[in-house]
């Protein structure tokens, strides 16, 4: 089904939302909207008003998830709804599209259905999940984890920020601590539209990506213990330099990942992005290094292979450099495949609107990861200029936003009228 989407209306929504938490930027336009901040309240207030103006019934659950349901007379109000949306929170000094585009594209999809006189057989819902980014509370994807039963309401509300403020108290302060728990398992289907945060669509000149799989993520914590000693008085043969050993480990992880890319899975990536060196003094041989390792792929066996190589690297360093090491893997999330049926619906929607689509995977985490565990789910991407995201220079052309929303609207209409 090809529906008319108002590019001007969608742009007005995204730009109006960008005014909340607007930050100064040398280039582009940025915003800082932390969960349950005053800026978040303003963004939520506008969304709720827009939902009401479009005839949606709005509910806020106990962790602040906002859902607006469109239930016209043609629907069976007891039927499982089709839902779409994303999040309104941001990272500090983030871009204006990441999250809000998905929320307002879902709302614009309903407006497009209303304008076209579509008569859905099941309700259609727009969702704003609380704390997707994890910039203030917990580790991200909080609202969706509660909606999917992976985290309890009580545990989520007890999460604290850097100042010791609980999520519950912060939501109370902005009047967005509602009642009950949004239940994503009750949805017939879920779709999310998001900026790609990479350059594949831009390079291919294709306006819409249909995600096949959301990457798995493993986080490893590594410690390397040597011996702190005087930088001038300790001869080279007598040193047990933890940082020198850590440097070899970083290169070993990189080499292991390149080997995996070449031999097994071209989508494998790894990053050693965090180091804590002790005592961290220019005139002291480093005695201890803590490292954080991030490994991702859409093939879980490849993630395992990189982690195994990391362990073997540490064993070698213990033998050759006389250091002691610790390796832990506290966070391990397997890849999440998207619904084949919903992917076909999205491709068909693009074809009906003469809008090009292509398959690709997601290297970043999204709320859809959780939702896919309890109902059919799909994730659509729209091009990001130069792949930039989480940055005021994040940009997606408005025509691409509108085209992707047309694909989303057609998909929702198809699913809601079955």
Q: What is the pLDDT of residue 1?
A: 77
pLDDT bin (cut points 50, 70, 90) of residue 187 is very high
Q: What is the pLDDT of residue 98?
A: 97
H or E stretch covering 48 = helix 38-53
pLDDT above 70 coverage of the chain, percent: 100
> Which residue do the tokens 């890849």 mark?
335
pLDDT bin (cut points 50, 70, 90) of residue 310 is very high
pLDDT bin (cut points 50, 70, 90) of residue 418 is confident
CA distances to 212, 234, 379, 384, 388 from 205, rounded to whole Å, are 19, 58, 19, 11, 16
Per residue in 13-46, pLDDT (tens digit) is 999 999 999 999 999 999 999 999 999 999 999 9
**Which residues, in sequence order, are CB contacts of 138 under 8 Å at separation 6+?**
131, 156, 159, 167
Strands 82-87 and 189-195: parallel
Does pLDDT of 48 surpass 80? yes
Strand partners, 297: 216
Q: What is the pLDDT of residue 139?
A: 86
390 Rama class: left (phi>0) / alpha (psi -120 to 50) / beta: left
Does pLDDT of 63 surpass 90? yes
Per residue in 258-298, pLDDT (tens digit) is 999 999 999 999 999 999 999 999 999 999 999 999 999 99
**Dihedral sign, Cα of residue 203, residue 205, residue 208, residue 213:** negative
Residue 122 corresponds to which tokens in the numbers above? 């099941």
Per residue in 127-172, pLDDT (tens digit) is 999 999 999 999 899 999 999 999 999 999 999 999 999 999 999 9
DSSP 234: S
Nearest C-alpha neighbor of 382 from the set 127, 129, 211, 132: 211
Contact (CB, 8 A) for 116 and 4? yes
Q: What is the pLDDT of residue 226?
A: 98
Q: What is the pLDDT of residue 386?
A: 96
Question: What is the phi/psi pair of residue 61, to 5°?
Answer: -90, -175
Per residue in 190-200, pLDDT (tens digit) is 999 999 999 99
Residue 148 corresponds to which tokens in the numbers above? 């999917």
Domains of the chain: 7-213+336-416 (3.40.630.10), 216-333 (3.30.70.360)
**Dihedral sign, Cα of residue 244, residue 245, residue 249, residue 251:** positive
Annotate 154-208 with DSSP letters as a single string. Answer: HHHHT-B-TTS-BHHHHHHHTT---SS---GGG-SEEEEEEE-SSSHHHHHT-SE
Residue 54 corresponds to which tokens in the numbers above? 């479009």
**Which residues, in sequence order, are CB contacts of 364 under 8 Å at separation 6+?**
197, 215
Average pLDDT over residues 109-125: 98
Per residue in 349-401, pLDDT (tens digit) is 999 999 999 999 999 999 999 999 999 999 999 999 999 999 999 999 999 99
């Amino acid at each position: 089904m090809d529906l008319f989407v108002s590019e001007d209306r969608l742009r007005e929504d995204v730009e109006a939302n960008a005014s909340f938490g607007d930050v100064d930027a040398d280039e582009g336009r940025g915003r800082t909207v932390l969960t349950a901040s005053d800026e978040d309240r303003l963004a939520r207030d506008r969304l709720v008003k827009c939902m009401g103006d479009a005839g949606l019934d709005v509910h806020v659950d106990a962790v602040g998830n906002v859902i607006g349901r469109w239930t016209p007379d043609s629907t069976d109000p007891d039927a499982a709804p089709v839902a779409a949306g994303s999040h309104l929170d941001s990272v500090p000094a983030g871009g204006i599209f990441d999250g809000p585009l998905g929320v307002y594209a879902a709302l614009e999809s309903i407006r497009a259905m209303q304008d076209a006189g579509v008569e859905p057989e099941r309700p259609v819902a727009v969702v704003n999940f609380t704390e997707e980014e994890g910039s203030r509370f917990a580790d991200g994807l909080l609202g969706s984890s509660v909606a999917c039963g992976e985290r309890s309401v009580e545990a989520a509300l007890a999460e604290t920020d850097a100042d010791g403020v609980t999520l519950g108290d912060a939501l109370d302060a902005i009047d967005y601590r509602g009642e009950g728990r949004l239940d994503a398992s009750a949805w017939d289907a879920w779709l999310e539209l998001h900026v790609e945060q990479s350059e594949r669509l831009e390079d291919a000149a294709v306006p819409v990506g249909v995600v096949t799989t959301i990457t798995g993520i493993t986080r490893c914590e590594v410690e390397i213990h040597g011996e702190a000693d005087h930088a001038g008085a300790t001869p080279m043969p007598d040193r047990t330099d933890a940082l020198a050993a850590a440097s070899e480990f970083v290169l070993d992880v990189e080499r292991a990942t390149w080997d995996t890319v070449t031999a097994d899975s071209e989508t494998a990536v790894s990053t050693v992005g965090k180091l804590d060196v002790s005592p961290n003094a220019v005139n002291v041989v480093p005695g201890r290094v803590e490292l954080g390792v991030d490994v991702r792929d859409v093939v879980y066996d490849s993630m395992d292979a990189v982690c195994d190589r990391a362990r073997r690297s540490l064993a070698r360093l213990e033998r050759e450099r006389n250091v002691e090491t610790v390796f832990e893997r506290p966070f391990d999330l397997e890849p999440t495949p998207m619904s084949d049926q919903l992917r076909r619906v999205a491709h068909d929607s693009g074809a009906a609107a003469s809008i090009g689509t292509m398959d690709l995977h997601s290297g970043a985490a999204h709320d859809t990861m959780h939702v896919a565990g309890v109902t059919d789910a799909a994730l659509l991407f729209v091009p990001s200029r130069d792949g930039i995201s989480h940055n005021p220079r994040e940009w997606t052309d408005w025509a691409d936003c509108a085209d992707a929303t047309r694909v989303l609207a057609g998909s929702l209409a198809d699913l809601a009228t079955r």
